[in-house]
Amino acid sequence: MLGYLTLFGAAFLSATILPFYSEVILFALARDGEPGWALILVATVGNTLGAVVNWVLGKYLLKYKDRRWFYFKEKQLHRMQNWFNHYGVWSLLLAWLPLGGDALTFIAGVMKVRLWVFLILVGIGKAVRYVAVFYFSAASLNWL
């Protein structure tokens, strides 16, 4: 049980701007023989809920964009909004990317993407990612 909570927490935190690596924990639990479907489910739910934090921040904290402590500068926000407008809501399937995925989920909040659409697209992308991580982990375990 502690392993699953650790995986959930790491997946949740790694979806925010904090540097966490849930893949390492998933690999360790897979090595210990935990069922793949359970690991993928826990990691996907944790990572998707962590992305919701970014969505909420984008949706509700944008009014503070002129403050010095605000994470993104006006030029960055404008560039990300243009990118999101160009590629659309389907780009949320790429929210799992290590570089840009967190910003993408933040911008989805800024752009007022509906939460249910956000959850479905981000959840699918993150699930596919964890399936790939698990199966690559399992393949490497067979080599050991």
Sorted by sequence, the CB contacts under 8 Å of residue 136 that are 6+ apart come out as none
Sign of CA dihedral 133, 139, 142, 144: negative
66-104 pLDDT, tens digit per residue, is 778 777 777 887 888 888 888 889 999 999 888 788 888
In a 3-state reduction of DSSP, which class is residue 138? Answer: helix
- The pTM (predicted TM-score) of the whole model is 0.85
User: Amino acid identity of 53?
Assistant: V
> Of 17, 14, 30, 18, whose CA–CA distance to 4 is shortest?
30
